[in-house]
Amino acid sequence: MFNRFVWQYIFAFIFIVYVLVSYSAYDELVANIIRFVGFCCVIVGVIGRLYATIFIGGMKNEGTDGTHFIDYGAYSLCRNPLYFFSFIAFIGLVALKAQLSLIIIAVIFYLWVYHYTIKGEENFLRSKFGSKYEEFLAKTSRFFPKFKDFYVPYEIKMRPEFFHKELMRSINWFFGAFALLLVEILHQGEFLPNLLKVY
């Protein structure tokens, strides 16, 4: 079974080392615009994850009662909104380095890792929910949101404990963002080595 966490840890280690020795080759105006857009992406990603958690928190594999999966709200936009909004936030974090080449590598890496993760989860849910899930697969986008079938019921079942956990987890995204911005400031002041200047 594909284990995304192994690849995430490998990427994180390489990324941290790279962050400490590299700096953007763009002029400061362009670099700061890229960083601003990146930080906005982090905010959008965090808000999106919170929104998706309202519908799925604690019910990812079992649905509301073990017989129905979640197919409304964020899950009527696409089948994997948590992964999609994590993608937005992740690319936002990487963009704080203001290096287009690094952003491209991060996009390819994320989509590769989560392609196999999503395929494995789909096989599990297909075996659990059968033809109903097959219909969901056919009509709902796998990853990128589509609004044509967006639907939110009047009432939903929600587990606040899991929303609270996600709210606390969202702090990590902003901690990571501010840590990266601090590293960039240290590079600007040459307190960290600028061994690589990369576009």
Question: For every one of its 199 residues, what pLDDT tens digit does the chain have, with 9 covering 90 and above?
Answer: 567 888 888 988 999 999 999 999 999 999 999 999 999 999 999 999 999 999 988 777 666 666 788 889 999 999 999 999 999 999 999 999 999 999 999 999 999 999 999 999 899 888 888 888 899 999 999 999 999 989 998 888 888 898 999 999 999 999 999 999 999 999 988 898 888 898 9
Rg (CA), the chain: 19
Q: Which of 99, 103, 96 is nearest to 182 (CA)?
A: 96
Q: Which of 132, 120, 77, 34 is nearest to 85 (CA)?
A: 77
> What is the distance between the alpha carbons of residues 56 and 77, in angstroms, rounded to a whole number?
13
